[in-house]
Amino acid sequence: MPKLSRDQFAGLLLLTAGTAASPATPALAADVAPPAVNEFQRAFFDDATFTFHLRNYLLDRYDSTGNDPAAWALGGWLGYETGWLGEILKFGVVGYTSQPLWAPEDRDGTTLLKPDQEGYSVLGQAYAALKFEEQVLTLYRQTVNQPEVNLQDNRMTPNTFEGGSLKGDIGPLSYYAGMLTTMKKRNSDEFVNIAEAASEGINEDSYMYLGGLEFSPIEELKARTSLYVVPDLLASSYSDAVWNHDLTEETRLRLSGQFMFQSGIGDERLTEPDYDGWIGGIKGDVIYNGLTLTAGYTFANDFSGTEDGWQAPYGSWPGYTSMIVKDFNRTEEQALLLGASFDFEQVGLEGLVFTAAAAFDLAVGENSKGEDLPEWNEYDFTADYRFTSLSENVEWDWLTPLWLRARYARVDTENPDNTRDQLDDFRIIVNYELQFKGSDL
């Protein structure tokens, strides 16, 4: 006799009990409801997603000005997300940690750890999501991935936010709408008000209205726009478009353009009075057999009321000339980007990609004191190796989630007094992520 599974045995018991309770009326199969526990088991275990992400990060920087942050940290995150319960409800939690392996007290400032080289752990995500016809409402602690409000996942753990968001698709249009109240920065274990997240000196609470649209009428064209408003603090918008065109069967042209505008609003607690400004950019990529050649240009308007230029307190700046160390987004700054990337899969080394990029200041303005700003040139090199090619080898399949990354950046600075400074930034990052369903166990 074949051996019954646990679910088959439970179903047989239920059918037997139902038949015994109503001997005079034979029960139809459709009348016998499956045990409620099976729905919970499916959502909370069988269809649940478990995530284990290990990250090991070494950052060592040498600056001729004497600011030399360095640290080596170990951490990552553990995540659990249920499947859809009744196709309308799911829950998720993610815990993050970063702990020092090597952290000299006199070399603070890498943002791999908390200030003073301290480790941290935090429940960065804890959310409930409701779905109706592919429109999803998410409440409480969550990630946000909009152009200016984003993960900024370039250290040990990402930014996360508290609030509510609604997103979904309507034909070729994708939308996002949210109201956010607090933020956990990438190297913090605390959620602080959205205004304090922009500047520690702001003690009055505020909130953020955030919206975004993405539109792709044809496969070759994609456009998006986003806007956030923090009352009495800042209003900021971003738009871009990307067009792809096949020149030949092996060669593709990709053209991109971006425009962003930002201004103080209300009491302007973050900026000086009448602060506003804009940045525009263009970029072109030619892709041929794994080789990508890139050229780009960004131009920043005069940002009145600040010496820092564009304000980016809620994530990575999305400009084309955002480099490993510097963002070329200061007042009246014009920057040229040149780069190349090669995927070695084309020569039989699957998983290996090498990227080189350089950004050069063509012009730069003055700070709020009327002093000339320094000119920068930055040179970035990145080597990535992902072990995905081992998936065909059963013996080494456990290594396929491994991702090794090595990065080097050099920044040459020419100061207004004609003196020069040099910065060298070295990084080694190891990522290993396992993600599986409960039914896989």
Band of the pLDDT at 390, cuts 50, 70, 90?
confident
Band of the pLDDT at 397, cuts 50, 70, 90?
confident
pLDDT of residue 25: 39
* Residue 54 main-chain phi, psi, to 5 deg: -105, 130
Band of the pLDDT at 366, cuts 50, 70, 90?
confident
pLDDT of residue 309: 87
- Cα–Cα distance, 209 to 234 (Å, whole number): 11
Mean pLDDT, the chain, whole residue set: 91
Q: Is the Cβ–Cβ distance between 186 and 158 less than 8 Å?
A: yes
Average pLDDT over residues 279-299: 97
Band of the pLDDT at 405, cuts 50, 70, 90?
very high
Which residue did the predictor score with more confidence, 274 or 252? 252
Amino acid at the residue 254 = R
Q: Is the Cβ–Cβ distance between 136 and 166 less than 8 Å?
A: yes
| Tens of pLDDT, residues 129-177 | 999 998 999 999 999 999 999 999 999 999 999 999 999 999 899 999 9
- CATH fold of 8-19+33-440: Porin (2.40.160)
Average pLDDT over residues 265-277: 89
pLDDT of residue 12: 33
Could you give the C-alpha distances from 387 to 134, 192, 327, 345, 354, in angstroms and in order?
34, 38, 31, 12, 15
pLDDT of residue 14: 34
Q: Which residues contact 101 (CB under 8 A, 6 or more apart)?
A: 72, 73, 74
* Residue 388 main-chain phi, psi, to 5 deg: -65, -25
pLDDT of residue 367: 81
pLDDT of residue 119: 98
Beta bridge partners of 300: 279
The sign of the dihedral angle between the CA atoms of 25, 29, 34, 35 is positive
Which residue in the block uniquely carries the two structure tokens 């070759």? 220
pLDDT of residue 391: 82
| Tens of pLDDT, residues 71-124 | 999 999 999 999 999 999 999 999 999 999 999 999 999 999 999 999 999 999
Lowest mean pLDDT among 283-287, 364-368, 411-415: 364-368
Band of the pLDDT at 256, cuts 50, 70, 90?
very high
By three-state DSSP, how is residue 425 classified? strand
Band of the pLDDT at 63, cuts 50, 70, 90?
very high
Count of Cβ atoms closer than 10 Å to residue 247 Cβ: 11
- Cα–Cα distance, 435 to 77 (Å, whole number): 12
Band of the pLDDT at 392, cuts 50, 70, 90?
confident
pLDDT over 70 at 33, yes or no: no
| Backbone φ/ψ region at 232: left (φ over 0), alpha (ψ -120 to 50), beta | left
- Burial class of residue 91 in the structure, from the number of CB atoms within 10 Å of its CB (0-12 exposed, 13-18 middle, 19+ buried): middle
Q: Is the Cβ–Cβ distance between 383 and 426 less than 8 Å?
A: no
By three-state DSSP, how is residue 54 classified? strand
Q: Is the Cβ–Cβ distance between 385 and 349 less than 8 Å?
A: no
Report residue 291 as tokens.
Answer: 């080789």
pLDDT over 70 at 195, yes or no: yes
pLDDT over 60 at 29, yes or no: no
| Tens of pLDDT, residues 9-26 | 334 333 333 333 333 334
Q: Is the Cβ–Cβ distance between 237 and 226 less than 8 Å?
A: yes
Could you give the C-alpha distances from 89 to 81, 86, 130, 139, 292, in angstroms and in order?
11, 7, 5, 11, 43
* Residue 295 main-chain phi, psi, to 5 deg: -140, 135
- Cα–Cα distance, 210 to 419 (Å, whole number): 43
Whether the model clears a pTM of 0.85, i.e. scores above it, the answer is yes
Band of the pLDDT at 305, cuts 50, 70, 90?
low
- Cα–Cα distance, 69 to 86 (Å, whole number): 50
Q: What percent of the chain has pLDDT over 90?
A: 82
Report residue 19 as tokens.
Answer: 């038949």
pLDDT over 60 at 128, yes or no: yes
pLDDT of residue 161: 98
pLDDT over 50 at 3, yes or no: no
- Cα–Cα distance, 160 to 114 (Å, whole number): 16
Domain residue ranges in the chain:
8-19+33-440
pLDDT of residue 158: 98
- Cα–Cα distance, 75 to 96 (Å, whole number): 7
